[in-house]
Amino acid sequence: MKLVYMDHSATTPVDQEVFNTIKPYYTDVFYNPSSAYSPAQKVRKAVEKAREQVALLINALPEEIIFTSGGTEADNQAIISYAITNMEKGRHIITSAIEHHAVLDSCKYLINNGFECTVIPVNSLGVVEPETLEKAIRPDTILISIMHGNNEIGSIQPIKELAEIARENQIAFHTDAVQTMGKIPLDVKALGINMLSGSSHKFYGPKGTGFLYLKKGTRIGRLLHGGSQERKHRAGTENVPGIVGLGKACELAGERLPEQVERLTKLGKRLTDGILTTIPNTRLTGHPVDRIPGSVSVCFEFVEGESILLMLDQLGIMASSGSACTSGSLDPSHVLLAIGLPAEIAHGSLRLTLGKDSTVEDVDYVLQVLPPIIERLRQMSPLVR
Ligand SMILES: *Cc1c(COP(=O)(O)O)cnc(C)c1O
């Protein structure tokens, strides 16, 4: 059976070139980068080279990069450690209703520990409006965290405008860029932000590795206590192969970016247009234009997303309904509810996310099998009047 992977927002395969670069660091060059003997210096150098590669992709300085165990840890550290370190300035933070759970649950943790959090709404296209952010700011607000690109509906936020509002009010700004890193150009200086989270496995690097960009001068504590690795920002022996892989993935992403943006935008449009024109009672979710290239999200009326996934799976097509973290629960995704979709429509959501190896043939295969699947499910549905 033909297998078609259309879930690149959940994770991606490690690029072969990345894999080849990583391999020696598991075996031959296995030393602890903190060790004093000379062979270990080679490992230290590899870690520092990776730091430069990450920094280059987002226009940061190498010393502004803290390696973490992934996007989740970076989000936790940005929010929890920043808030705790700076709480003498105030105990109020702001985030949006469509954030990843790594951000929302970090905010909840702070709420349980004496902080207050305002969760601002988004408009029907899944975009935070600058005026909404402005209105939520209080004298005791110390941190704003708004994601760059949404993992479920693909909408890209006006981070530059939002960060400017934060700066005018002397509030730190963090963005979760896990879904945009390596997919669209990212420039932390141009965006004017203090912190940014990234994760290697969302753009062809290994799982379990990510980073936090921390602008020089931004004060933050640490989540993990122990050794003085990462300039005392993150204790623990470095995940050297993971870090080397993240660096290589950044280098490759930078080289391929312009061509990939163009190709995935086109391919995504072919898939979106094909679905919307052949399947009635279907709507696109998220912003029609300002979205992550190759990210397609739709809602079909009168069907359950879970049923669509099962039928696609039988045909070898891997996709998701809402985010991978929420499937398994029967509640419609918080993101789809936040853009104002009624629960019964949000239940019929499907997310297809394309990647570097996706082809026109893959897209056309989905366009061929999806309409009869939806039609069959609708025939069986008690929801159809
Ligand atoms: C995947 C994802 C994360 C979590 O990253 P991990 O490296 O899997 O911990 C955080 N935020 C967003 C938007 C994501 O898509």
pTM of the entire predicted model:
0.97
Which among 232, 238, 231 is positioned nearest to 210, based on CA atoms?
Answer: 238
Q: Taking 90 as the threshold, does the pLDDT of residue 71 lie above it? A: yes
Say how far apart CA 217 and CA 294 lie, in whole Å.
Answer: 36
What separation in Å is there between the alpha carbon of 206 and the centre of ligand 1? 13
344 is written with which tokens?
Answer: 């019964």
Query: Is the Cβ atom of 175 under 6 angstroms away from ligand 1?
Result: no
pLDDT more than 70, % of the chain: 97
Please work out whether the CB of residue 181 comes within 6 Å of at least one atom of ligand 1. no
CATH code, domain with 303: 3.90.1150.10
pLDDT band at 326 (very low <50, low <70, confident <90, very high): very low
CA–centroid distance, 118 to ligand 1, in Å, is 22
Are 263 and 363 spatial neighbours (Cβ–Cβ below 8 Å)?
Answer: no
What mean pLDDT comes out for the span 45-58? 98
Q: pLDDT tens for residues 194-222?
A: 999 999 999 999 999 999 999 999 999 99
pLDDT of residue 59: 98
Domain count, the chain: 2
Cβ 96 under 6 angstroms from ligand 1? no
Domain presence at residue 385: no
pLDDT of residue 328 exceeding 80, the answer is: no
**How far apart are the CA of 208 and the centre of ligand 1, in A?**
10
Pocket test for ligand 1, best of 77, 179, 212, 246 (most atoms within 8 A of CB): 179
Residues 150 and 247 in one domain: yes
Spatial neighbors of 97 by CB under 8 A, at least 6 apart, are 119, 120, 121, 122, 334, 335, 338
Where does the pLDDT of residue 382 fall: very low under 50, low under 70, confident under 90, or very high at 90 and above?
confident
| Ligand 1 in reach of 102 Cβ (< 6 A) | yes
Q: Is the pLDDT score of 183 beyond 50?
A: yes
Q: Determine what percent of the chain is predicted with pLDDT higher than 90.
A: 95
Domain boundary, last residue among 252, 275, 306: 252
Mean pLDDT taken over the chain: 96
User: Do strands 92-96 and 65-68 pair parallel, antiparallel, or not at all (unpaired)?
Assistant: unpaired
Q: Which of 346, 356, 251 is nearest to 294 (CA)?
A: 356
Residue 325: active-site member:
yes
Give the domain range for residue 288: 4-12+257-380
Q: Are residues 31 and 156 in the same domain?
A: yes
Please report the atom of ligand 1 found closest to the CA of residue 10: 1
